[in-house]
Chains A and B, each alone.
Chain A
Amino acid sequence: MGNEEAVFFSRLLTELTLSFHIIYATIGVGVPLMIMIAQWVGIKKNDEHYILLARRWARGFVITVAVGVVTGTAIGMQLSLLWPNFMELAGQVIALPLFMETFAFFFEAIFLGIYLYTWDRFDNQKKHMLLLVPVAIGASFSAVFITMVNAFMNAPKGFDLVDGNLVNIQPLAAMFNPAMPTKVAHVVVTAYMTAAFVLAAIAAFRLLKGSDHVYHKKALYLTMKLGLIFSIGAAVIGDFSGKYLAEYQPEKLAAAEWHFETEGKAPLMMYGVLDGQEVKYAIKIPYALSILAHSNPTAEVIGLNDFPEDEIPPLYVHYLFDTMVTIGVLMILISGVFWLGRHLGWRFIQSRWFCWLLVAGGPLSIIAIEMGWWYAEVGRQPWILRGIMKVPEAATTSGQVDTMLYLFALLYLVLGVGSVIVLRRMFRRNPVEREIADREQARIEEERVKGGDLS
């Protein structure tokens, strides 16, 4: 296998692993916070339904976390296996957050183990909930640290390059590179958003399938409300990301917007097709790109023609970006309408078609996450370390990458199918109505025993 082929298959395998891992990773980062909020509401309002909600979510969460952990291990090792030259170079500057990520993950793993097995050990639910705090913190900080590494690939800082050697290395400056704040915040907030909408989709699905239990209604209202908050947050931070890109990676923003000539009063193009450098059939929002880039409708936005041709990313990232933004806006609208409708008593939000829309929100959010990551990664091309190292220089010279690609594809198929089957079976076998009835029964029993002791 020639080096070109090795590069091609390395890219494909990394893309496959990341695309698969990110589904479970996003859920893994977002769901602990949702469990915590549900348990907290349950304790605060003394409402068994919310406690049970937290408990059932936690049960499903273990399955997704297991797949997230093993695929995370895979991508962690694949970085060295597929991109050895990159890791050798970047490791000297950005190893610190990578190292800290394992600590965050360790912390999470320990407390998740404790949390899962101690539901009935404490009489006081609050104590049990405290055990979840490190899980949520560990999960979110795993995302923070690993995204720092990705931010570094976009905006390498914290070293000087002298004759191809890295000198004057400052690990903290590398961690706190310019891309870090917008990227980290966007990744974390969209993880919360996606987790909320995925959980909402499940509740909506149960309601559609004929369950009329108030448990599902509470779950749906809670998750839609949380989804609304975090999707608005995602949009606002997304806007900040635009400002970051305009200043530090203008070619990435320009490629997403098909913005060729550097000019002021730049419009935002949604969708459309490209004819040479002409954008056709696009939805044109005047001034919007200037506002996104510099919060000023007349500000100048750098265009793609200012860059050498071999340093601009593929232009199809435009569609990735547009899909991500469209889904984001759609989710704000859907959850906003649902929330308003609940308060104002609109009937259509309980109609079947709207419920189906809520169900679609779960997969849609995950698609948005995928699009966002593809945009983030493809939009950085041809660089693996922007301005320092290009992708082909980083790849392995090993000849067996294609075989590994097929093996891993098979693995992800097995894991994906397995996790879906197990999750479905888990909740089918033990529907919430029965669990609520069982718990009620157990409580009455317990009370009768206590009463008997007294008399």
Chain B
Amino acid sequence: MSLEVLGISVLMTFLFGYIIVGAIDFGAGFFNAYSLLTGKERILTNVIQRYLSPVWEVTNVFLVFFFVGMIGFFPSTAFYYGTTMLVPLSLALILLAVRGSYYAFETYGARGHKGYSFMYGAAGLLLPASLSIVLTISEGGFIDMVDGQPVLDYAALFTSPLTWAIVFLSIAATLYISAVFLTWYAWKAGDPDATNLLRKYALIWALPTIITATGIVWELRNHNPEHYNQLLGLWWMFVLSGALFIGTVYLLWKRRNYGLMVWLLIGQFAFAFYGYGISHYPYLLYPHLTIYDSFTNPAMATALIIAFILGLALLVPSLYLLLRMFLFNKDYVKGRKKDEHA
């Protein structure tokens, strides 16, 4: 495996991690706000707070990790994406900032403050939408080179059906992933009311997720035939992904094996995500930038990979400890431990 491919694989893995933990987090914020709106907070808030509290900060790091690694391995992305993405990414940053800090304000300062909760929930829906724009732009066709400088064509971007298909997928997938995960979590917490409600949400969002995902592949055929053809070459990954999706929904329907269901869900998104990513190869930005011409020098790449391995050696045990103490700790999940913050 070349250094370039190794680098992009590492980054994709972190992006995948962010998509999953971020989706759970964003969706949880939305469901929490929604339950306040519909007067069902008694059912949901407890479970959601219990999950979110110790992990909210960790979620954010996945994102930071991804973009810092991107600049590290592929510095030219700073030039292309940095110049063109000022507005969408600044908006995402502002949402992220409002969301993150107001979560802390609400949880530690003013529990139950409705205004904070709504802001938190709304930001959670807008974020995946604004971040997903990056994926849209990477498909090419929205960036023109003017005097050697990349310029984003907003009119083309916002009138393209591809853009909106990706935006809708990001929102639907966020809510679907989150609802499925929280169904399992609520079931683990021994909370049948919350489990049933979340299961219902998961089933509601399953169909839109799969429809928008198919829609994107359809749109891609017109928008970027090269990518579309490579995508077809990896048909088996998408078939597997679809099979896992059916499996997830089946278990959800039958109220069985919620633990296995979460793994099927992760598998479904992993196959779809990596299938999409691999077929994107070798472009980081159609048709301007490939992983080869944007790659950093070998000395830096080697140093980054060594740092990455050492860092993982430190992080994996720490993450395991975090999960063991909260996510997989029966007493904590069920709320038996008196673990009030500070």
Q: In the assembled complex, which residues on chain B have CB atoms less than 8 Å from the CB atom of A113?
A: 53-58, 322, 326
Q: In the assembled complex, which residues on chain A have CB atoms less than 8 Å from the CB atom of B208?
A: none
Which of B55, B90, B322 is the most central at the interface, judged by chain A CB atoms within 10 Å of its CB?
A: B90
Q: In the assembled complex, which residues on chain B have CB atoms less than 8 Å from the CB atom of A455?
A: none
Q: How many residues of B contact A (CB 8 A)?
A: 69
Q: A111-B318, A117-B54 are in contact. Are A81 and B89 (CB under 8 A)?
A: yes
Q: In the assembled complex, which residues on chain A have CB atoms less than 8 Å from the CB atom of B65?
A: 102, 106
Pair A116/B318 contact, Cβ less than 8 Å: no
Q: In the assembled complex, which residues on chain A have CB atoms less than 8 Å from the CB atom of B78?
A: 80, 84, 87-88, 91
Q: A76-B64, A91-B296 are in contact. Are A99 and B93 (CB under 8 A)?
A: no
8 A Cβ contacts from A393-413 to B: 396-398, 400-401, 403-404, 407-408, 411
Q: In the assembled complex, which residues on chain A have CB atoms less than 8 Å from the CB atom of B101?
A: 66-67, 70, 415, 418-419
Q: A53: shortest Cβ distance to chain B, in Å?
A: 12
Nearest opposing residue in chain A for B294, CB measure: A88
8 A Cβ contacts from A84-138 to B: 84-85, 87-89, 91-93, 95-96, 98-103, 105-107, 109-114, 116-121, 134
C-alpha gap A349/B68 in the complex (Å): 49
* CB-contact partner of A81 in B86, B97, B297, under 8 A: B86
Q: B318: shortest Cβ distance to chain A, in Å?
A: 5
Nearest opposing residue in chain A for B103, CB measure: A66
Pair B342/A110 contact, Cβ less than 8 Å: no
Pair A120/B338 contact, Cβ less than 8 Å: yes
Pair B105/A66 contact, Cβ less than 8 Å: yes
Stretch at the interface among A168-176, A227-235, A237-245: A168-176
Pair A114/B105 contact, Cβ less than 8 Å: no
Q: B324: shortest Cβ distance to chain A, in Å?
A: 10
Q: In the assembled complex, which residues on chain B have CB atoms less than 8 Å from the CB atom of A101?
A: 68
Pair B300/A95 contact, Cβ less than 8 Å: yes
Pair A88/B86 contact, Cβ less than 8 Å: no
C-alpha gap A118/B340 in the complex (Å): 8
Q: How many inter-chain residue pairs (CB < 8 Å) link A and B?
A: 230
8 A Cβ contacts from B319-339 to A: 319, 321-322, 325-326, 337-339
Pair B304/A73 contact, Cβ less than 8 Å: no
C-alpha gap A240/B139 in the complex (Å): 52
Q: A93-B300, A398-B84, A415-B101 are in contact. Are A422 and B109 (CB under 8 A)?
A: yes
Nearest opposing residue in chain A for B87, CB measure: A400
Pair B300/A172 contact, Cβ less than 8 Å: no
Q: How many residues of A contact B (CB 8 A)?
A: 77
Pair B109/A397 contact, Cβ less than 8 Å: no
B82 at the interface (CB under 8 A from A): yes
B71 at the interface (CB under 8 A from A): yes
Stretch at the interface among A54-62, A189-197, A279-287, A295-303: A54-62
Pair A401/B86 contact, Cβ less than 8 Å: yes
Pair B326/A117 contact, Cβ less than 8 Å: yes
Q: B221: shortest Cβ distance to chain A, in Å?
A: 32
* CB-contact partner of B72 in A73, A91, A109, under 8 A: A91
Stretch at the interface among B31-39, B188-196, B223-231, B308-316: B308-316
A360 at the interface (CB under 8 A from B): no
B69 at the interface (CB under 8 A from A): yes
Pair A76/B86 contact, Cβ less than 8 Å: no
Pair B67/A169 contact, Cβ less than 8 Å: no
Q: B149: shortest Cβ distance to chain A, in Å?
A: 5
Q: A76-B67, A99-B307, A415-B97 are in contact. Are A170 and B86 (CB under 8 A)?
A: no
Q: In the assembled complex, which residues on chain A have CB atoms less than 8 Å from the CB atom of B236?
A: none
A389 at the interface (CB under 8 A from B): no
Q: In the assembled complex, which residues on chain A have CB atoms less than 8 Å from the CB atom of B72?
A: 91, 95-96, 98-99
Q: In the assembled complex, which residues on chain B have CB atoms less than 8 Å from the CB atom of A65?
A: 57, 104
* CB-contact partner of A425 in B79, B110, B319, under 8 A: B110
Pair B299/A170 contact, Cβ less than 8 Å: yes
* CB-contact partner of B90 in A81, A85, A109, under 8 A: A81
Pair A110/B86 contact, Cβ less than 8 Å: no
Q: B283: shortest Cβ distance to chain A, in Å?
A: 18
C-alpha gap A426/B110 in the complex (Å): 8
* CB-contact partner of B61 in A102, A118, A166, under 8 A: A102
Q: In the assembled complex, which residues on chain A have CB atoms less than 8 Å from the CB atom of B299?
A: 169-171
Q: In the assembled complex, which residues on chain A have CB atoms less than 8 Å from the CB atom of B98?
A: 411, 414-415
Q: A95-B71, A98-B68 are in contact. Are A423 and B109 (CB under 8 A)?
A: yes
C-alpha gap A421/B63 in the complex (Å): 29
Pair B318/A73 contact, Cβ less than 8 Å: no
C-alpha gap A102/B63 in the complex (Å): 10
C-alpha gap A59/B60 in the complex (Å): 20
Pair B318/A92 contact, Cβ less than 8 Å: no
Q: A171-B299, A400-B86 are in contact. Are A106 and B58 (CB under 8 A)?
A: yes
Pair A96/B86 contact, Cβ less than 8 Å: no
Nearest opposing residue in chain B for A74, CB measure: B93
B278 at the interface (CB under 8 A from A): no
Pair B109/A118 contact, Cβ less than 8 Å: no
Q: A80-B71, A81-B86, A102-B64 are in contact. Are A422 and B311 (CB under 8 A)?
A: no
* CB-contact partner of A407 in B84, B94, B307, under 8 A: B94
Q: In the assembled complex, which residues on chain A have CB atoms less than 8 Å from the CB atom of B57?
A: 65-66, 69, 109, 112-113
B341 at the interface (CB under 8 A from A): yes
Q: In the assembled complex, which residues on chain B have CB atoms less than 8 Å from the CB atom of A367?
A: none
Q: In the assembled complex, which residues on chain A have CB atoms less than 8 Å from the CB atom of B76?
A: 88
A71 at the interface (CB under 8 A from B): yes
Q: A73-B63, A114-B325 are in contact. Are A398 and B97 (CB under 8 A)?
A: no
A357 at the interface (CB under 8 A from B): no
- Give 10 CB contacts A-B under 8 Å: A62-B342, A63-B108, A84-B78, A84-B83, A88-B76, A100-B311, A102-B68, A107-B315, A166-B297, A170-B299
Interface residues of B (CB under 8 A from A): 53-58, 60-61, 63-65, 67-69, 71-73, 75-76, 78-79, 81-87, 89-91, 93-94, 96-98, 100-105, 108-110, 149, 296-297, 299-300, 303-304, 307-308, 311, 314-315, 318-319, 321-322, 325-326, 337-342
When A and B form their complex, which 5 residue pairs have the shortest distance between CB atoms, in order from nearest?
A: A66-B104, A84-B82, A422-B109, A91-B75, A95-B72
Known pairs A77-B93, A426-B108 / 12 extra A-B pairs, C-beta < 8 Å: A73-B60, A78-B90, A95-B71, A101-B68, A102-B69, A105-B61, A106-B61, A110-B321, A119-B342, A169-B297, A418-B101, A419-B105
